[in-house]
Structure 1
Amino acid sequence: MGERYLKSIRLLAECMQGFERLSSERARQSGLTHPQFDIIATLGNTPGMSYKELGEKTLITKGTLTGVIERLEQKGLVERQRNDCDKRSFFVRLTADGEATFNAAFPKMMEMGRNLFTDYREEDLAALEKNLSKLKTVIMAGHPGCPSTPDPTKENI
């Protein structure tokens, strides 16, 4: 195999960068940065969640998450409440304006994604998901501190 895997990694990285560029443009059209959209999309159709849950469900690092939530709060799109059980943590939920932003922006982002995969058949998507899940499992197994086998209680995405 030699260094053939480098071509695959490069293509994977280029796909991710291209997708982020397109989705960032779409988010900006809604008046949001890409991380802000990620938070709005994650909180949409939920009663809200803790910072910890948001960190687990988004690709935003813990250090960045606080700043993004603060800016969304300044825009009036989210509100934070201290957790009654743990005064050190916050619960975050969308405000009415946040819900309106979600309802306007999320369908447009989904449409963009659907358009990217127009030429993919169901079998193509299944094969892509299978291969990416396999790669994720291998990568996670080789990373210190990560489980070597997938957690069956978590979705493999």
Structure 2
Amino acid sequence: MNFLPTLRDLVIVYQAFERYSAPNIKALGLTMTQFDVIATLGNQPPMTCKELGEKTLVTKGTLTGVLERLELKGVIFREANSGDGRSQLIALTKEGQQLFEKVFPEHLDFLNQAFSKLSNEENVEIQHALKKLNSIF
């Protein structure tokens, strides 16, 4: 059970990141989940709900409600998928793309304030460690 300290540190880091990141996203007028969806759809071709779910950190059950709310706000639209009649394609509206172009760089600048405290070598080292950890699951 020598992995327990690693597991604990991983959870602590994730929670710290959430505490740091969430207030900035809230100040931009979004929830973390809405930001995740908008950031994933930004500058991308329309994608199915399944593809969107695979590319975000959002569960299918949560994603449905978030998409409904974003659609009501005029941020996304859905259209029939001509390649698969059982699914819909989801994309940002013009207003949604403008929102993405505003909030995404602002949030990246905010995150850069923290990540810039790491050297390039430290960033690479962390990336390798996280990829290795991910590969075991």
Q: What's 1:82 paired with?
A: 80
Q: Distance in 1 between matches of 2:92 and 2:130?
A: 32
Partner of residue 97, structure 1: 95
1:71 aligns with 2:72: no
Secondary structure of residue in 2 paired with 1:52: helix
Return the structure number with greater helix share: 2
Unaligned runs of 5+ residues in structure 1 are 141-157
Q: 1:32 Cα deviation (Å)?
A: 1.1
1:1-157 residue pairs with structure 2 within 5 A? 3-138=1-136, 140=137
| CA apart distance, 1:34 | 0.6
**CA shift for structure 1 position 101:** 0.9
Alpha-carbon deviations, 1:76-115, whole Å to 9, x = none? Answer: 1000111112222110110111111111110111112211
SS at match of 2:86: coil
Name which structure has the greater RCO, CA cutoff 8 Å, separation 6+: 2
- How many pairs does the alignment contain? 137
Give the CA deviation at 1:67: 0.8
Other structure's SS at 1:92 match: strand
Identical residues among aligned pairs (%): 44
Gaps of 5+ in 2: none
SS at structure 1 position matched to 2:77: strand
State how far apart, in whole Å, the 2-side matches of 1:108 and 1:9 are.
31
Query: How far apart, in 2, do the equivalents of 1:33 and 1:10 lie?
Result: 26
What is the alpha-carbon distance in structure 2 between the residues aligned to residue 81 and residue 22 of structure 1? 36
In structure 2, what is the equivalent of residue 148 of structure 1? none
Q: TM-score, normalised by structure 2?
A: 0.93
Deviations 1:45-68 (A, max 9, x none): 112211111011001011111111
